[in-house]
Amino acid sequence: MRRPRPRPSLGILGGMGPSATADFYRRFVERTPAGSDQAHLPVVMWADTAVPDRTEALLGQGPSPLPALVEGARWLQRAGVSCIAVPCNTAHAYVEQLSKATGTEVLDMIGAALEAAARRTPGLERVGVLATRGTRLTGLYERAGVRLGLDVVQVTDGVQERYVDAAIRAVKGGADPAAPERWIATAAESLKEQGAQAAIAACTEIPLISGAAARVLPLVDSTDALAEAAVARLWQPAQVVRARGRRG
**Active-site positions?**
88, 203
Other residues' Cβ atoms within 10 Å of the Cβ of residue 210: 23
Other residues' Cβ atoms within 10 Å of the Cβ of residue 145: 22
Is residue 216 within 8 A of residue 17, CB to CB? The reply is no
How many Cα atoms sit within 13 Å of 174 on the Cβ side?
1
Distance CA 64, CA 94 (A): 9
